[in-house]
Chains A and B, each alone.
Chain A
Amino acid sequence: MPVITLDGHRLEVPAGKTIIEAAYENGLQIPHFCWHPALSVAGNCRMCLVEVGLPRRRPDGSLELDAEGQPLIAFLPKLQIACATPVADGMVVNTKSERAVQAQQAVMEFLLINHPLDCPICDEAGQCKLQEYAFRYSRRVSRFQEEKVHKPKRIIWGPGVIFDAERCILCSRCIRFANEIAKQPVLTFVERNDRVTIELYPGTEFDSPYSMNVIELCPVGALTSRDFRFQARVWEMSFTDSICPGCARGCNIRIGVHHNEILRLEPRRNLHVNQYWMCDEGRLTQYGFVNHNRVNGPQLRRTATGQLEPTTWEEAYEAVAAALRRYKPTEIAIIGSGRLTNEDAYAVVKFARTVLRTPHLDFPRRDDPYFGDDFLRCRDRNPNTVGVLEIGLKPAAGGLSLAELPEQVRYGSVRCLYIVEEDPAALSPELQQALEDAEMVIVHASNYSSTTAHAHIVLATTTYAELEGTYTNIQRRVQLLRPAVATKERPRFQGMAMSRWDKFGAWNDRWAHGPQRDCRQTWQHLREIARRLGTTWKWSRSEEVFQELAHEIPSFAGMTYELLEAYGGIVLGKGRSPDPVPPLRYESHVLKP
């Protein structure tokens, strides 16, 4: 393997890599704008200019040495771009030499000549590459006295993206993304020199299902999200690493929370799963339900009024336990969900097998052939089908499947439906009829739905953003979710991501907290109900449920939350020998609050 020296660090780099790849694979940085590890190399921003030297050789190929026996280095007369120069054995690269620094300062000055002073109103500010480099690599003063070139602002590119031509630094990342990843080549440079800008081909729109990834990809604030625009400054949000529940892919995401409401989701790097991207559908649809229409606290349907009315947890659990005691095991059917975390699914299965002893246990599949594609989106819209099946959430011997259930409810052989985080009434008219026919309907629900409309008891349950747990994606990779939104039970304590306002806001601030719902995770409900039915489960945290699960179910053996976090998820069965994390640890944006 070639050995190079980068700013005095000796690196062993596989042949064929570029200098910038060598740097990022070894935890070093080289300033750059247009290079991105997932895109082709354009080499047009010139920010990555570095000084490159090669050892001097005699005609016979041997190295020329200086007085101390070190090889003599001949530096190339011109600086080279690190993003397009492949490494060679013995190469010496300087990114901090005088010539390199001068080049960086010159490029920054050039970029800033026509860049507007928009930072205070720019959504990118706080995580902008240009801002950051202006501090690190520019002279910090402008010598430009003339009027800046003005270009159009607020150009709509498509349903998700707005373009501001003044802020664009013409790195072409968005064009390459459209061509290479979104496979929708509709963008192009037009005009020349300081008038250059980007336009859509006439009559086209940038509406690919992945279009909004260019928002994070753009190193500056030229591309903004029509969904998010101006809702908060980045430093006002708390960002938590989690997993998108939109389909079986389980894209790694970051949840941006402000005043305890989710304002945006953005993709997070996981080279095994989603690389650097997520789909627009996930980004736009997977947070609204966390903020709106929530069940807050346990609800009981009073016979007098026929309405769901708030009650205490104590009373609600007693009511559930009393209702379950009334029926024979085979008269109770549990409808689980592919949206349950592994922990909750484990609790449901254990509850069905050991507490209720009912064989009727199933969950609805969510198959959407129009959603699937050959990139990230999967036709299975449940985030945890694989995990739920692995754990055994399926009809036991003699148990009814979901399809057979409505008939048996009609005949009265199943009289009580126990529904966990699912909305069967919205799935088919037969199931809706079954809900109407059933004598007793108990629901764990995070949101009001057509199912809660039929429920006799509703236990307020967390959404994916409020719990700690794991999903198993379509590649059988178990991935970790962390709580991003505080609940009444789990306030924003240390260890949960906290913005300045979350950290220092007082209890009497109007804004510091936002609505905190009184809801619990499914395994917590089941633990309480099981205790009232005579079985004690000693779980106090999701992690303990996961420990038990990893102990009981062989394919999860060896997994812990720490390992899941460290390896970016672990494939089922590989708990003891996880796939290594790819060496390239690249973040396009780093928030510096």
Chain B
Amino acid sequence: MNIQQNTEAQRMSFWERLYLPEIVRGLSITFRQMFKPKFTRQYPEERWEPLGSYRGYPVLVLDEDGERCVACGLCSRVCPALAIEVQAGETEREKERYPVKFEINMLRCIYCGFCEEVCPEEAIVMSKGYELVFEDREAAIFSKEQLLVPIEQLQDRLEFLRRYK
């Protein structure tokens, strides 16, 4: 049923129906803002650098003597989104095991940081990375090589973890 009586348009006064005062009011706000300081960031020319406490996508720590990960699979077990797959292999190194395969499906990851919290080796940490763009699903599955990040680039996060974890 279409309502014919007591509609919005019928209830408006003459000045309201003219719209002009409202337009003037709106424009005055616009002009006032033009002279105030700007907060917009010119992304991507101007990028934002997060602090150590930021939880970007998880990465693997690359130490002086190689990857820290011992392929214990605890991150894979705790991950609520089942984003991580680890396959262990045996090495001659003291810690006996290393990941033959380590994959994180970045479409699955929900940035909860549980993997970082559970890792006994401090081998997986949340990075500052927040730019994740893929053209297909397969490309969203990061391999071990894509995930390994030199420890120097992760100092902020490691420092944060040491202090607050």
Contacts and interface: CB of A to CB of B under 8 A. Distances in A.
Interface of A: 120-121, 153-154, 229-233, 235-236, 500-501, 504-505, 508-511
A177 B17 CA distance: 97
Interface core residue of B89, B96, B97, B141 (most chain A CB under 10 Å): B96
A229 B73 contact: no
A235 B141 CA distance: 23
Interface of B: 70-74, 76-77, 82, 85, 88-90, 95-97, 103, 105, 120-121, 137, 141
Contact of B95 (A121, A233, A235, A500): A121
Contacts of A230: 71, 88-90, 96-97
A138 B90 CA distance: 32
Contacts of A120: 70, 72, 74, 120-121
6 contacts: A230-B90, A233-B72, A236-B73, A500-B82, A501-B82, A505-B82
A121 B82 contact: no
Contacts of A500: 77, 82
Contacts of A121: 70, 72, 95-97
A121 B73 CA distance: 9
Contact of B90 (A229, A232, A233, A511): A229
Contacts of A153: 96
A510 B104 CA distance: 11
Contacts of B72: 120-121, 233
Nearest to A506: B82
A511 B72 CA distance: 17
Contact of A508 (B76, B88, B121, B137): B137
A500 B85 CA distance: 13
Contacts of A509: 82, 105
A140 B101 CA distance: 34
Contacts of A501: 82
A511 B96 contact: no
A230 B100 CA distance: 11
A230 B70 CA distance: 11
Interface core residue of A153, A154, A233 (most chain B CB under 10 Å): A233
Interface core residue of B74, B88, B105, B141 (most chain A CB under 10 Å): B88
Nearest to A501: B82
Given A120-B120, A121-B72, A505-B82, A510 B141 contact: yes
A235 B77 contact: yes
B38 to A, nearest CB: 44
A524 to B, nearest CB: 33
A273 B90 CA distance: 36
Nearest to A126: B77
Contacts of B141: 510
Nearest to A508: B137
B96 A154 contact: yes
A235 B72 CA distance: 12
A121 B91 CA distance: 12
A280 B85 CA distance: 31
Contacts of B85: 510-511
Nearest to A226: B90
Interface core residue of A121, A154, A230 (most chain B CB under 10 Å): A230
B137 to A, nearest CB: 7
A461 B72 CA distance: 36
A231 B88 contact: yes
B159 to A, nearest CB: 24
A500 B78 CA distance: 11
Given A120-B70, A230-B71, 4 more contacts: A120-B120, A120-B121, A232-B88, A235-B77
Contacts of A505: 82
A231 B88 CA distance: 6
Contacts of A231: 88
B85 to A, nearest CB: 5
A287 to B, nearest CB: 18
A504 B82 contact: yes
The 6 A-B pairs with the shortest beta carbon distances in the complex, nearest first, are A120-B72, A230-B88, A120-B120, A233-B73, A511-B85, A121-B97
Interface core residue of A504, A508, A510 (most chain B CB under 10 Å): A510
A505 B76 CA distance: 12
Contacts of B96: 121, 153-154, 230
Contacts of B137: 508
Nearest to A118: B96
A309 to B, nearest CB: 30
B18 to A, nearest CB: 58
Contacts of A154: 96
Contacts of A232: 73, 88
A446 to B, nearest CB: 26
A510 B87 CA distance: 13
Contacts of A504: 82
Nearest to B141: A510
Nearest to A511: B85
Nearest to B83: A509
A233 B82 contact: no
A508 B83 CA distance: 12
Contacts of B73: 232-233, 236
A509 B141 CA distance: 10
Interface core residue of A121, A232, A501, A508 (most chain B CB under 10 Å): A121
A229 B77 CA distance: 19
A120 B74 CA distance: 8
Contacts of A236: 73, 76-77
A174 B88 CA distance: 27
A142 to B, nearest CB: 16
Contacts of B95: 121
Nearest to A233: B73
A233 B78 CA distance: 13
A153 B71 CA distance: 19
Nearest to B118: A120
Contact of B77 (A233, A510, A511): A233
B121 to A, nearest CB: 7
Contacts of A510: 85, 103, 141
Nearest to B95: A121
A232 B87 CA distance: 7
B139 to A, nearest CB: 13
A510 B77 CA distance: 17
A508 B138 CA distance: 10
Contacts of A229: 90
Contacts of B103: 510
Contacts of B88: 230-232
